[in-house]
Amino acid sequence: MKKQLFFLLCLFVLSAVNAQVSIGARHVGKQKKFPKGRLDKFKKTETIFVLSDIIDANTYKEILDSSWDITPYKLMYRKDFNLLDYTVGDYSFANLEGYHITKEMESGGKLEYLYIYINFFMLDGEGLENDLSKLDKSSSRYKKKYEKAFESNKIKLARVDLFPKDTFVPTALREKSSVIMDSIYNKDVFYNYKTGFLKNYFQKVNNQLKSGQEYWMYENDFLPELKKLAKHTLYIPNYHFIKYNPWKRKASKDKEGFEKVIENYKYKFEFQDKNEIDRRILSGEEFYYLRYVRVNAQKFVHIVNSKTGEIVYRNYIAGVMSSYNLKSRHIENINSKIKKALKK
């Protein structure tokens, strides 16, 4: 059983497609309401958080105590967590997951896609037990069917996509799954896996689930609150200076290039070190910051209220192979939405 669990935790699990923040029963396809009774069931659970070891337990507790109140929660280290211990009972989960897809083109070339995210889910314990009881342990396909049984009995709630550092992407595309999973749990390999960002992500998931409303990944919209940016400073984390070349699969710091992009922003802005942004968010300070996440060639641009975690502006930009970085037109879109907010 321990060997089976090793495979379950170490192999990337096939799941739904991509987003920066998505709350709902489905994360791909047509938007639907939460199935009846799902949220009521979730609210009766204890949520088990199994997160990266790069942040200490006391800091996670500080983050969750100030952002998560929809369910009681428990923090566990990956090395101590055994999913089989929680298949019976009222539990929900938040852990790191992901998968890698390779598609062959007609030309013979290959396209590779990487998705890594924090997944919020429950298990259908009865369905899982039933599916596992049907498996033939002597079959050569037992391992795959075992993993599929767990995946097919996951009851999806929400997910937060992570933005892998470009130095990590080659490892994620070439190494075996056990190495990849060790990296995402033990190393600092994401631009947006930071204490402050996590607090705001958890706030958004928590509050959206409490409201019972889905939050769809592909929307482009803004809240009336966005008009405050006409007078307030927009803070920009310095990881935005990183420019990625998809053809060479290399990233480099290009502060001057990004400054030319952001100079199209018509209001006040300020670059700030990501650690300082983290500190300010955790202290409860209220300000607005730009949060950009790239999932392969798709881009998700958010402006976030640091105190509430609310996303006051969001822009989904479909993937184009030649455009992996923010452009002036994306900044001009923010300008136009602030202008519209001021008129409302």
- Both tokens of 260, joined, read 């030319």
Output 151 or 265, whichever has higher pLDDT: 265
Decide if 159 is inside a domain: yes
Nearest to 122 by CA among 181, 43, 68: 43
Stated as kind and residue range, the H or E segment containing 340 is helix 328-343
5 in any annotated domain: no
pLDDT tens-digit series, residues 45-68: 999 999 999 999 999 999 999 999
Asked if 201 and 227 sit in the same domain, the reply is: no
- Number of domains within the chain: 2
Residue labelled with tokens 């202008």: 339
Tokens of 132: 């596992």
In a domain, 240, yes or no: yes
Task: Evaluate whether residue 216 is within a structural domain.
Answer: no
| Angle between the N-to-C axes of helices 2-10 and 177-186, in degrees from 0 to 180, rounded to the nearest 10 | 70
Mean pLDDT, the chain, rounded, equals 85
268: number of Cβ within 10 Å: 11
Residues 301 and 162 in one domain: no
Q: Can you read off the two tokens belonging to residue 225? A: 């609150």
Domain final residue pick, 211, 244, 272: 211
Burial of 273 (0-12, 13-18, 19+ CB in 10 A): exposed
| 200 and 283 belong to one structural domain | no
Residues in the chain: 344
Place of tokens 């402050």: 196
Residues 171 and 319 in one domain: no
Displacement of CA 69 from its chain's centroid (Å): 20
The answer to whether residues 46 and 64 belong to one domain is yes
Mean pLDDT of 220-233: 96
- On whether the pTM is more than 0.85, the answer is yes
Spatial distance between the Cα atoms of 179 and 327, rounded to a whole number of angstroms: 34
What distance in Å separates the CA atoms of residue 3 and residue 242, rounded to the nearest whole number?
40
Residue 57 lies in a domain: yes
Q: Do 159 and 262 lie in a common domain?
A: no
* Interatomic CA distance for residues 250 and 111, integer angstroms: 16
SS3 category, 42:
helix
Question: Are residue 125 and residue 274 in the same domain, yes or no?
Answer: no
Q: Specify the amino acid at residue 24.
A: G
As a whole number, mean pLDDT of residues 258-281 equals 94
Do 181 and 244 fall within a single domain? no
Looking at the structure, do residues 206 and 226 belong to the same domain, yes or no?
A: no
Strand partners, 93: 48, 121
139 and 252 both lie in a single domain:
no
Summarize the confidence of residues 268-296 as an average pLDDT: 94
Which of 211, 238, 264 is the last residue in one of the domains?
A: 211
Among 211, 242, 263, give the residue marking a domain's end: 211
The pLDDT tens digits for 8-40 are 333 333 333 334 556 654 444 445 567 788 999
Q: Which helix (H) or strand (E) holds 302?
A: strand 298-305
In terms of residue numbers, what domain contains 30?
11-211
- Residue-wise pLDDT for 188-207, tens only, equals 999 999 999 999 999 999 99
Residues 303, 335 within the same domain: yes
193 in a domain, yes or no? Answer: yes
Cα dihedral across residues 195, 196, 198, 199: positive or negative: positive
pLDDT attached to residue 246: 65
User: 204 and 228: one domain?
Assistant: no
Do residues 267 and 234 touch, judged by C-beta distance below 8 A?
yes
Does some domain include residue 151? yes
Q: Report yes or no on 232 lying in a domain.
A: yes
